[in-house]
Structure 1
């Protein structure tokens, strides 16, 4: 019996790459990996894996999606708001691309679609935070997908733990200082390791479409403030860490709007009595990675002099 074919959008990126690796590791699926540049080193490495076909596709183009989805059983889809074609010059393009993805998948006979989304910041904040466009655009696509007639499920990742690899601390005497703009030290937000957990979560949702169809998974494994982050880094590495809020002007307009939303609502508008991980994430039945476990795994990156 042939394996189900899964088309993976953005297979060379962090989200799509995590999904691709988890699909390959499961051994249950054939993967059709979409990328704009099939000759890149990353694309060549992907193509060398078993049961993987690399396909050139620009997700902005309907004809490329039609070719990508033709004969596919499942799709993992998402859009990159920070693509120069979208941000900052053409913000509505993200929503257009996402809805087009849903339409083409349905017309192509795709049996099940997992959409990587984010919460509707405007709705959660009752209109106060109405300029977190990369949240709201994805949320609008999720709503469209759920009412499209296409069998689908929604996954909403928290803040990526991996972001700390690209937000290196600066040194102040012997102390490593973490800084983020518009982020008070005790404000908590939800986190996920994209590399460790995200792809496995998507595969768990694909393994049981009937269970997850029509549902939304808030995919986070830990709830932390920046003081918590600094304390964990210090505990694991043995190096002194502290957190100091950076000036507001260090954030661009989009990220500044997001940080302000986080300060009021976290990622999801979590209720005070809701624990992280959320029940639906636990229900996936996969081992979730805490921030401390992730730091231990990545400790060479944080233990440099």
Structure 2
């Protein structure tokens, strides 16, 4: 009988990374949860060998069905998913379902709390909900680990994020505040690898070592200006940056302003020594520029 790993957000960036890595490893059979099993992304996962099932994070019964019979779970919440915009409710549905199903180990994707790091000066409900769920998860007694993410490098190549303009020079429209210490995650490469490594550690009898621990899934922590210099140096092309004072969306403005004023993950070593000790080899910013940004620009 297959050892089932239920993966939420399977057609998204995080969940998709996890499903693909689990298929490569072959230890756990990924059960890919998506609202629409007939979507192109879901069909692609099915072709790769995943068991694709329907599941709506806004519907507790749906979540319970998705979790039933699974040994391990990867949990991530999604802004504006289904009937509710609150990730707090989504996360509690997953955690409660996992508890009821006697899931043996759960890996939860979270992040820094904006309201927490700023002492209430700033808030970002999406991120703050995730952080609040950290404590809820701990209170249940479910064996778990928490993976903490930063700014997604993929945002520099997503077509709906207006960060790159193709021209003789590269021009970035950046909401980051100059002088911020940027915390950057290469999700597609490092999230799946980190989750799979933790699942394998559990499977190999190392649950006591990883249970209750949190790890930062960051490939870099550096002044935001240095990230743009790395792009410039790696591509060998001049980079220009327009620093935006606002995106006229308070939640996002608060998030970026908090990063500048209150360093996120202060004191945390990058890459995370706990994940490195388990065998995770993180990607580099230079590799991301070469393998993702360069082809995206057609260079």
Report the TM-score when normalising by structure 2: 0.91
Among residues 225, 228, 231, which one is paired with 1:230 in the alignment?
228
Among residues 254, 258, 261, which one is paired with 2:255 in the alignment?
258
Among residues 112, 127, 134, which one is paired with 1:135 in the alignment?
127
**Does the CA contact (< 8 Å) of 2:18 and 2:192 recur in 1?**
yes
CA distance in 1 between partners of 2:81 and 2:56 (Å):
12
* Residues 266, 292 of structure 1: alpha-carbon distance in 2 compared, 3 angstrom cutoff: farther
**CA root-mean-square deviation:** 1.9
1:38 aligns with 2:31: no
**Does the CA contact (< 8 Å) of 1:146 and 1:214 recur in 2?**
yes
Moved more, 37-46 or 115-124: 115-124
**Does the CA contact (< 8 Å) of 1:185 and 1:227 recur in 2?**
yes
**Does the CA contact (< 8 Å) of 1:218 and 1:280 recur in 2?**
no
How many correspondences in the alignment?
Answer: 291
**Does the CA contact (< 8 Å) of 1:227 and 1:243 recur in 2?**
no
Q: 1:49: how far off?
A: 1.8
Query: Residue 79 of structure 2 corresponds to which residue in structure 1?
Result: 81
Q: 1:135: how far off?
A: 1.7
Query: Residue 58 of structure 1 corresponds to which residue in structure 2?
Result: 56
Q: 1:85: how far off?
A: 4.4
* Residues 26, 47 of structure 1: alpha-carbon distance in 2 compared, 3 angstrom cutoff: same
**Does the CA contact (< 8 Å) of 2:113 and 2:127 recur in 1?**
yes
**Does the CA contact (< 8 Å) of 1:192 and 1:221 recur in 2?**
yes
Structure 1 runs (4+) greater than 6 angstroms displaced: none
Report the TM-score when normalising by structure 1: 0.89
Gaps of 5+ in 1: 88-92
Query: Residue 170 of structure 1 corresponds to which residue in structure 2?
Result: 165
Query: Residue 267 of structure 1 corresponds to which residue in structure 2?
Result: 264
Partner SS for 1:244: strand
Partner SS for 1:235: helix
Partner SS for 1:232: helix
Gaps of 5+ in 2: none
